[in-house]
Amino acid sequence: MKPLSLISFELLVVSCILLGSSIIMKHVNSMHTLHTIMTNLATFRVHIAPLGFEIDRIILPLKQTKADKLCLIVHEKTAEDKSGPYLDKIKKECKKLDVKLELSYANRLGIFNMIKLVKEIIIVEKNNYIYVNVASGSKIQAIACMMACMILKEHTNIQPFYAEPETYAAFEGKQQSFGLKDTIPLPTYEIQTPKQKLLDALNIVYTHEKQKLTKKEMAEIAEQKEIITVNAENENHSQARFASLDKNIIEPLEKQWGFIKVEKIGRNRWISITEEGKNAAEFLI
C-alpha cells in the first residue's frame, strides 16, 4: 500500500499533466487532522463521494465528522453499473444516521465531466463545510475530485481527504475494503485559472461554428459582450479594437495558456481552439 504522502503527490502530478504546462501550483494549506478541523467548525457538514465498490470508506467518515448530508456521485450508465448493491446499502446506512442523501450522475471514466460536476456541487454547497472523499471511487474520480478542490481556490471551506481502511477484501464479490483506520486530510494546492474575461472569450471560440472564427468576428463579438473596451474616435475604432483584443485576449490565451492558436489564411487571421483549450472549456466554462 502506498504512503498517503505519495498518493497525494501522485494525484497532484497526474492532475497537472492532464491540464498541461499552463498550470501554476501554490501550496495553500498544510496537513491537519480531520478531528481538529471538524471540532473547530459548527456549520452544516456535507460530504462529496464517488460511488464505487465501497461502503465503510463512505459511511464511517460520515459518522466520524457527524455529517448532515452526503452528495453521492453515481455512474450515469446505471444499466451497466455494478455498484447498485453498494448504493442500496449506503442508502440504508444514511437513513440510520439521519444523513440526507443526494445523488448526482456522471461518467465514471470522463475526468472533465467529473471535475465539472464536483465543482457544481461545491458551488451549490458553498455556505457549508465540505469534505471531499477521494478514496471511495476510481483513480479517475479521485483525480477529478482533487482537481475540483484545487481549481476552487477561493473557497476555504473545502477539505479533501483519504479514507484509509483497516483491511482489504481477500476476494472479489465483497466491498474492496473494511473498517476505517484513519481519515487523513490531503494538502490542498492552488491551480491558477484564467480570469473570467479570458474564459468568456474562450467560450466565444468554443461555441462558434467549427470552433473557428476570424479575428474580425472575434473582435466584434468581444466588444458586443463587453469583454474588451475600446476608447477611440470612430475613424480609429477598428484599429483600437484589434489592439485591445490582441493585448487583453488573444495574447494571454495563446501565449500564456495555449488555449487558442492564430493562423493567417489568405487575407484573414483565423482564431481556433486547441485541444488543451477544449479540455479546459469542458470544466472551466
Mean pLDDT of 104-114: 90
Identify the CATH class of 4-191: alpha beta
Of 65, 69, 49, the C-alpha closest to 57 is: 49
Which fold would CATH assign to domain 196-284? Arc Repressor Mutant, subunit A (1.10.10)
Choice between 165 and 103, residue whose per-residue pLDDT is larger: 103
Specify the pLDDT at position 35. Answer: 45
More confident residue, 227 or 166: 227
Query: How far is Cα 254 from Cα 256, in angstroms, rounded to an integer?
Result: 6
- Count of CB atoms within 10 A of residue 270's CB? 16
Band (pLDDT 50/70/90 cuts) for residue 172 is: low
Domain boundaries, the chain: 4-191, 196-284
Contact 274, 21 (CB under 8 A): no
Span of 34-43, 59-68, 220-229, 272-281 with lowest mean pLDDT? 34-43
Round to whole Å and give the CA distance between 89 and 94.
9
Q: What is the pLDDT of residue 72?
A: 97
Residue 77 binned pLDDT confidence (cut-offs 50, 70, 90): confident
The more confidently predicted of residues 27 and 215 is 215
pTM score above 0.85: no
**Average pLDDT across the chain, whole number:** 80
Q: What letters, b where the CB count within 10 A reaches 16 and e where it falls short, cover 114-129?
A: bbbbbbebbeebeebb
Position 198 scores a pLDDT of 94
Helix, strand, or coil here: 184? strand
The predicted pLDDT at position 182 comes to 58
Query: In the predicted model, what is the mean pLDDT of residues 122-149?
Result: 91
Tell how far CA 45 is from the center of its chain: 20
pLDDT exceeds 60 at position 118: yes
